[in-house]
Amino acid sequence: MGQTSRHGRGRFAVALCALACALTLLAPTAAFGLTTNKATARPNEDGGSSVIGGLPTRLTWEGTVDEGEEVSSVTLVLPEGSSFDGTTTKVTVLEGLSRAQLEGEVKPATQSLVVVFSKPATAGLLLRLEVEGVLFPSEGGDVVVRGTYVNQNGEQDLAESKPIATIANTPLQALLASLDANPVVEAWNSSPFLGMFFKPQLLVTAFATLIPGWLLCLLIVCIAYPFAIILGLIFALMKISRNRLIRAIAIIYVNVLRGTPLFLQIYIMFFGLPMMNINIDNNVLGVIVIAINASAYLAEIFRAGIESIPPGQYEAASSLGMGHMMTMVNIILPQTIRRVIPTVTSDFITSYKDTSLLSSVGVMELMMFAKNLTSVSGNMTPYVAAAIFYLIVTLPLIKGVTIIEKRMARSERGGGPRPKVKAKTAEGVTGDPAEKGAEPSLVEALSAPFRPATTDIAGMGGVADVQ
């Protein structure tokens, strides 16, 4: 009974397989007599590797004629928003590695391109169409090349190509296109020096590309420097401490960090910590390294500022009953901060520039972006753009330090603006100045008639005129 059931199920499975095979043979198959090999576009981004919509590019399409087929014409069709107008097309027919004696007449339209061959292309021939000046949709997206071909059986559909990724045509790209078409820019770039270091198109591209790296530089130094100030002030106070052990720790910390290159400190932190299974984000580790290195220099700056305060300040505070800590917080440190502001600002500039060393360990800051763009473009202009980004921050700070130093020097010499003295007048008195008790002018005094002086002799009960 069980064997009969198993035989029944086996016969049913065989019947199903036979039915499936019959349906497969009867179903229509989608066969192409012309196989699409590829459809690619040349990058048209200045200094980049992307295909930008709305800008001229070169479209290369290749297809192979299948066995038993004869293709007399090929029509390529692009999506809405594309254009073949104003294009030039190179038609190449290859038989193996040799070029076949087969010509093609090109008829471009807005979205389509028709190539009619002088005689049908037979099986095994490779058809290559290189179309210059093709415009893809300005909004970008995936572009698929479709079309038709005509063989001995009439017009047939062409297999779709793989999508060609394009990016949108932004105002930046429009500006680059206008620069490319400008004869003045072309003449500028013809100079080997100007074209290598100051290429306008690549300068514009670099300004847009380097902004994320520049912002990261500012973020790293702006987060690191407050911590560096706190650490520097702590070690400055430790270095002037009366305790020998505390003073020794501060001296070792400051001398080691100031006596070794920041580049070496970066390598020790970035490659040494992972060997100890301590993994920290690169950006966070960059903040830590910059803060520690800057704190050593700030410690010396604060120490020199504290020791520049005259000893009389301590004595005066002591005479008022202030303790050491109160004197330091209320009297010494406020004066120290005022004196070290120019030097601290200069050290901030140095720390900001030192963030460029983080590019050596893979932090995506300004110099890393410039390095990547230079390697792609083969031009030094991105490094010049990076220098401009550094100068945007450093030049105003340098100018500010100069102004502060001049004002402080003038203040130390007793210079600077003086308070204005207003003339005092009797309140509520009107009329002639002489009646208000005002002093007569020199001219009035000389022209007035001589009057004998009067003397009030105290104790005589009146006034006597002494002639």
The 3 state secondary structure assigned to 261-316 is: CHHHHHHHHHHHHHHCCCCCCHHHHHHHHHHHHHHHHHHHHHHHHHHCCCHHHHHH
Question: What is the structure's pLDDT at 13?
Answer: 56
43/144 same-domain check: yes
Please report whether residue 191 resides in a domain. Answer: no
Domain end, chosen from 412, 432, 447, is at 412
**Looking at residue 417, what is its pLDDT?**
58
Residue 193 lies in a domain: no
244 and 288 share one domain: yes
Find the CATH number of the domain harbouring 402. Answer: 1.10.3720.10
Domain stops at, among 364, 391, 412: 412
Domain-embedded: residue 64: yes
Helix (H/G/I), strand (E/B), else coil: 413 = coil
Q: Specify the number of domains making up the chain.
A: 2
pLDDT of residue 411: 78
Specify whether 213 is located in the same domain as 127. Answer: no
Q: Domain boundary at 384, 412, 440, which?
A: 412
Q: Which helix (H) or strand (E) holds 62?
A: strand 57-65
- Domain that residue 111 falls in: 34-169
Instruction: Identify the CA nearest to 141 among candidates 257, 52, 19.
Output: 52
Q: Position of tokens 């004197």?
A: 327
* CATH label of the domain that carries residue 127: 2.60.40.3550
Mark whether 297 and 374 lie in a shared domain. yes
Contacting residues for 238 by C-beta, under 8 A, at least 6 apart: 246, 247, 249, 250
pLDDT of residue 376: 87
Smallest CA-to-CA distance from 390 within 342, 353, 350 is with 353
Q: State the CB neighbour count (10 A cutoff) for residue 253.
A: 19
In a domain? residue 2:
no
pTM of the model: 0.65
Are residues 222 and 85 part of one domain?
Answer: no
Establish if 404 belongs to a structural domain.
yes
Distant-in-sequence, close-in-space partners of 450: CB < 8 Å, separation ≥ 6? none
Coil, strand or helix at 55: coil
Residues 164 and 277 both lie in one domain: no
Does 328 lie in the same domain as 206? Answer: yes
Ranges under pLDDT 70 in the chain: 1-32, 46-47, 415-467
Whether residue 25 is contained in a domain is answered as: no
Same domain, 154 and 291: no
Residues 213, 146 share a domain: no
Do 263 and 387 belong to one domain?
yes
Query: Are 251 and 364 within one domain?
Result: yes
CA dihedral 369, 371, 373, 377 (to 10 degrees): 180
Question: Does the residue 449 lie in any domain?
Answer: no
**Is there a domain that residue 154 lies in?**
yes
Tracing tokens 């202009």 back to the chain, one arrives at: 381
Same domain, yes or no: 163 and 208: no
